[in-house]
Amino acid sequence: MKIIEIVHEKCIKCLECVAECPSHFFLNEKNDSENIVLFSDPYSSCIQCGHCLSICPTDAIIYQSIEKMINIPKNSMDFDTLFPQLKLLLQTKRSIRRYHTDPVSETKIKEILDVMKYAPSASNARAWKFLILTDPKKIKTLSLKIVKTISLTRKLVTNFFIKNFFIYGELRKTIKEPGFPVSLDRIINDSLAGKDPIFFDAPCVIFLYSPKYGNLAGCDSGIIMTYGMLVAETLGLGSCWIGIAQESLQRLRSLSKFIGIPRGHMVWGCFTLGKPVPKFNQIPPRPDLSVIDIS
CB of 260 to ligand FMN, least distance (A): 21
Residue 51 or 97 with smaller CB distance to ligand FMN: 97
Residue 190 interacting with ligand FMN (CB under 6 A) = no
Residue 278 interacting with ligand FMN (CB under 6 A) = no
CA atoms within 13 A on the CB side of 12: 7
Those residues with Cβ within 8 angstroms of residue 86's Cβ, 6 or more apart along the chain or in another chain: none
Dihedral angle at the C-alpha atoms of 93, 96, 101, 105, nearest 10 degrees? Answer: 40
Dihedral angle at the C-alpha atoms of 189, 193, 197, 203, nearest 10 degrees? Answer: 170
Task: Give the long-range contacts of residues 38-41, CB within 8 A, separation 24 or more.
Answer: 38/6, 39/3, 39/5, 39/6, 41/3
Q: Which helix (H) or strand (E) holds 149?
A: helix 136-157
Residue 244 interacting with ligand FMN (CB under 6 A) = yes
The residue of the chain with the least Cβ separation from ligand FMN equals 243
Residue 46 interacting with ligand FMN (CB under 6 A) = no
Residue 218 interacting with ligand FMN (CB under 6 A) = no
By CB atoms closer than 10 A (0-12, 13-18, 19+), residue 93 is middle
- Which region, judged by CB under 6 A, interacts with ligand FMN, from 142-150, 160-168, 239-247, 249-257? 239-247
**Candidate residues 115, 241, 252, 258; the one interacting with ligand FMN per rule CB under 6 A:** 241
Those residues with Cβ within 8 angstroms of residue 134's Cβ, 6 or more apart along the chain or in another chain: 103, 104, 109, 203, 204
Residue 148 interacting with ligand FMN (CB under 6 A) = no
Q: What does the per-residue mask of binding to ligand FMN show for 71-110, with x meaning CB under 6 A?
A: -----------------------xx-x-------------
Give strand pairing partners of 64.
2
**Candidate residues 205, 231, 240, 273; the one interacting with ligand FMN per rule CB under 6 A:** 240
Residue 240 or 267 with smaller CB distance to ligand FMN: 240
- Which region, judged by CB under 6 A, interacts with ligand FMN, from 43-51, 55-63, 163-171, 241-249? 241-249
Counting residues that bind ligand FMN (by CB under 6 A) gives 8
Residue 273 interacting with ligand FMN (CB under 6 A) = no
Name the residues that contact ligand FMN, by CB under 6 A: 94-95, 97, 240-244
